Amino acid sequence: MEKAITLSEKAPPAKPARSNRKVENREDKTRVRLSQQVIISTAADLFARNGFGATSLDDIGEALGVTKGALYYHIKNKEEILKLIFMTVLAVSEEPLRQIARAEIPPADKLNRAIAHHSAVAADRSPAMQVFYREDVHLTGPFAREIAARKKAYERLFEEIIEEGIRLGQFRQDIDPKIAAFGILGMCNWLSQWYRPGRAYNPQQIASFFSQLAEFGLVLQDEK
């Protein structure tokens, strides 16, 4: 039962002076307690920056000051981390939009609020949102289908708001609601690609620009 002989004999387990690790850990401030929450949060950052496939569990462990083995006490496997990130995004985005869609206010106001809501999610949860829209190809099986369905339902709410506006004669009749919904969603989603906190504008201001754009457009009407 010979072991495979590799070329580079790694430094054999020379029982390195134990507890030299503890020193390192203590010095980098109070170590954050490991949990699903911090794992998926850290993982979302890394996935957003380097991609799901290019981020190893070693990377995640290193970012947390822990060996990758420790991660397995809190999560089932790598894909579950991804799944949890997707669930996080849906958890903060679905219900508020549903409430906006069924509120009893003019369609233009609904659109305003929907844009504000979605922009806020895209900006505040930027890493998770980037993962949500870039790494969906790595989901498999029933969960992948569920995410796709809920994503579509979410988009459909935007569509319905626009349909309502058209039906009530408040929105232009010559624009396809599905295309318009995709356009507006694309506008907001793109936020997560370029927005970084602490820049010139905050998410609310950006959302207000987007609302102006979506409602009235850029071109100055000769009003009156």
Partner DNA sequence: CACAGATTCTACCGCATGTTTAAATAAATA
Partner DNA sequence: TATTTATTTAAACATGCGGTAGAATCTGTG
Tell me if 22 contacts DNA by CB under 7 A: yes
Does 165 interact with DNA (rule: CB under 7 A)? no
Quick check: 177 and 163 in contact, CB under 8 A?
yes
**114 lies in the binding site for a copy of itself (CB under 8 A):** no
Q: Give the three-state DSSP class for 55.
A: coil
CB of 93 to a copy of itself, least distance (A): 16
| Closest CB to DNA among residues 78, 125 | 78
* For a copy of itself, the closer CB: 11 or 200: 200
Q: Which is nearer to DNA, 19 or 221 (CB)?
A: 19
Task: Assess 216 for contact with a copy of itself (CB under 8 A).
Answer: yes
Q: With binding defined as CB under 8 A, does residue 180 bind a copy of itself?
A: yes
CB nearer DNA, residue 1 or residue 200: 1
Of the candidate residues 63, 66, 157, 166, the single one contacting DNA (CB under 7 A) = 66
- How far are the Cα atoms of 121, 168, 173, 201, 221 from residue 108, in angstroms, in the given order? 20, 11, 14, 23, 18
What one-character-per-residue DSSP string does 96-140 give?
HHHHHHHSSS-HHHHHHHHHHHHHHHHHHTHHHHHHHHHSGGG--
One-letter identity of residue 9: E
**Cα–Cα distance, 59 to 68 (Å, whole number):** 8
Neighbours of 106 (CB within 10 A): 13
Interaction between residue 141 and DNA (CB under 7 A)? no
Task: Single out the residue of 90, 86, 73 nearest to residue 40, CA to CA.
Answer: 86
Q: How far is the CB of 145 from DNA (least distance, A)?
A: 20
> Residue 104 or 223: which CB sits closer to a copy of itself?
223
* 56 part of the interface to a copy of itself, by CB under 8 A: no
Of the ranges 16-24, 73-81, 129-137, 141-149, which one interacts with a copy of itself (CB under 8 A)? 129-137
Rounded-to-integer distance, Cα 46 and Cα 222, Å: 49
Please give the Cα distance from 128 to 86 (Å, whole number). 7
Which residues sit at the interface with DNA, rule CB under 7 A?
3-4, 6-8, 10, 12-13, 15-16, 18-19, 21-22, 33-34, 55-59, 61, 65-70, 72-74, 77-79
